[in-house]
Each structure stands twice: as structure tokens, then as C-alpha cells.
A = this chain, B = another copy of it.
């Protein structure tokens, strides 16, 4: 299983680096090569391959269309990093930091066009249908990023709004990855929609898992500062539920903690975790996460695919669900 994943990753990255990026003007193509060389798990194209393998074995045939999702994803990262003023991505300087914002905007734009170019290599009779799904997904991802930025400016965000934001910003692209792979493998459009809905729900669950790991993860395994979301007052489901449930003195403490710009970050994390514990936030967020995982698997189980054929996708997803970092 894990061996397969490594083979996919290797092949996908090889193919990515075969793209003709030794072109002029180098200010446009070097940042693209840099971004694609930074690595990453290639989770989205692997999901597409897994979905394809529910029906067929010759997964190498769909590498290019599967990689269109990876290019699109990297395009959004390059532009998002400008907006989020993120200095690092996968431990390396972001494109706008290493070069500048203009170059990050424009090389991102080129990457997006390149994504369409790879999608075109899909061998599918109703190509416009694929393109319509891709466009829909692309627009939703942009909407999600805008909502995320809007939420930073707002003092109150509801649970439903938050779930909708992460659905758009991260989950729909996982859904599209699976749907694309399913369609290319020969599933009907209806079947592939179940696969998409599986991906969307699993994707929401993954983000909730990330939110939980940020607070309750093992610092060493997690590889980044535990409690980063708390320090930044990021309106994750955990904080949203805490704001919703806190009453009286606790409510006051919570708002004072959030407003205190002088507080030592470690103290802030510790105090916030104490509030979360009183309010049972971890269990609440875990339940929301598991509900989405379950909803996802209900969709997956509607598919009439043999246990044997769906096993790789099921195992891969379960491994992602079980990860502790």
C-alpha cells in the first residue's frame, strides 16, 4: 500500500519536472519550477489515481490530467501566500518572498493556464463536462479563500459558515480529484458525483483534523508550533464553539485572552486549552470531524465497486484519517 503511494508520488513528481519550464522570460518560469520542486505529498493527483483504480489498472494513462489538479493547487498556494503574507511554504521561502509580488501574481497566472493545458490531455468523450466541473471547483476555491480572508476581519463566525468556508477553500478540490479519476476510469457521471461527495466530506474532516492537531498534536511529529491557531486567534471550529459555549466569567476570560496582545504565547495556549477542556471542545470538534468522515463513507458505500477494487482508495483515506501529524 505505502509502496504504491511512493511509486505514484515518484512518478508524479518526475512527470511534473518534465514539463517544459526552461523557457523565457525566466522570471516567470523559474518560480513555477521552484514551486513544483518543493515537494508535497501530491495528495490530490494520488486521490485521482486511486479513484481511477476503482475501475482500471493502467493509472499511468491519467498522470497528466491528474497533475492538472496539482498545478491548480500550486497556483492557489502562490496567490494565497501573497494574500496571507506567508513567509514560508514547505520550509522554504514563498514565491513572493523569494522574488516579489508581481512575479508571484504572474507566475501563478501562468500556472493556472498550464493546469488547463494538462487537463486537456484527459481522454474522455465529454471533455466539456470535465472542464465545467474544473471551472466550478476553481471558482469555489477562490470563493473559499475570499471567505477565509473575510472571516479574519469579523468578530463572529458561525459553525455553518466555517464549515462552508473550508468546504470551498479545501474540500471541493479533493472532491474534484476523485470525481475526475472516477470519470476517467469509466464511472458514470452519477457514480462519480458520489465519489466527489465522498471527497468533499472527507476533505472537511481533514481540515477539522488539522484544526485539532494544531492544538492537541504532538509538537515533534507535527513539525510546527503547537497552538499556532490559538496564538493567531484563528477562527477554527474549536474557537468558534468555545465562543459559542462560554458563559459568564469564562466568556470574559476568553475574550480577554483573545484581546491580550502582550501575553506570552505559551501562556495563552495553556489558558485557552484550559477553557477548551472545561467546555469539552476537543470532543465536540472530534464529533464534527467524525460526522463528516462518516457522511463521506456513506457516499463511498453507495458505489457498486468490488471490495477488492475500492480497497486502495479506502486504505489511503483511512491512513490520512489516522495520521497524527
Residues 128-180 of A at the B interface (beta carbon under 8 Å): 128, 131-132, 135, 138-139, 142-143, 145-147, 149-150
Residues 269-296 of A at the B interface (beta carbon under 8 Å): none
Contact among B79, B110, B127, B147 with A128 in the assembled complex (CB-CB below 8 Å): B127
> How far does the Cβ of A182 sit from chain B's closest Cβ, in whole Å?
21
Instruction: Tell me, yes or no, whether A324 is within 8 Å of chain B by CB.
Output: no
Bound Cα distance A95, B19 (Å) = 34
A131 and B120 in contact (CB under 8 A), knowing A82-B102, A83-B105, A102-B149? Answer: yes
A22-30, A214-222, A309-317: which lies at the interface:
A22-30
Instruction: Tell me, yes or no, whether A43 is within 8 Å of chain B by CB.
Output: no
A33-41, A111-119, A205-213, A256-264: which lies at the interface:
A111-119
Which B residues touch A117, using CB under 8 A? 132, 135
Which B residues touch A25, using CB under 8 A? 143, 146-147, 150
Which B residues touch A105, using CB under 8 A? 79, 82-83, 105
Q: Are B28 and A143 in contact (CB under 8 A)?
A: yes
Copies of this chain, tallied across the complex: 2
Bound Cα distance A300, B143 (Å) = 44
Q: Are A109 and B143 in contact (CB under 8 A)?
A: no
Instruction: Tell me, yes or no, whether A106 is within 8 Å of chain B by CB.
Output: yes
> How far does the Cβ of A22 sit from chain B's closest Cβ, in whole Å?
14
Contact among B102, B112, B132 with A109 in the assembled complex (CB-CB below 8 Å): B112
Q: Are A139 and B110 in contact (CB under 8 A)?
A: yes
Bound Cα distance A251, B135 (Å) = 54
Q: Are A110 and B150 in contact (CB under 8 A)?
A: no
Q: Are B150 and A27 in contact (CB under 8 A)?
A: yes
Contact among B82, B110, B116 with A131 in the assembled complex (CB-CB below 8 Å): B116
Q: Are A109 and B79 in contact (CB under 8 A)?
A: yes
Residues 85-132 of A at the B interface (beta carbon under 8 Å): 101-103, 105-106, 109-110, 112-114, 116-117, 120, 127-128, 131-132
User: What are 26 A-B residue pairs whose CB atoms fall within 8 Å in the complex?
Assistant: A25-B146, A25-B147, A25-B150, A28-B142, A28-B143, A79-B109, A82-B105, A83-B102, A83-B105, A101-B101, A102-B149, A103-B146, A106-B142, A106-B145, A106-B146, A109-B109, A109-B142, A112-B112, A113-B135, A113-B142, A114-B139, A117-B132, A120-B128, A120-B131, A120-B132, A127-B128
Q: Other CB < 8 Å A-B pairs besides A82-B105, A83-B105, A110-B139, 18 of them?
A: A25-B147, A27-B149, A79-B106, A82-B101, A82-B102, A105-B105, A106-B142, A109-B109, A110-B142, A110-B143, A113-B135, A113-B138, A113-B139, A114-B139, A116-B135, A120-B131, A120-B132, A127-B127
A residues lining the B interface (CB < 8 Å): 24-25, 27-28, 79, 82-83, 101-103, 105-106, 109-110, 112-114, 116-117, 120, 127-128, 131-132, 135, 138-139, 142-143, 145-147, 149-150
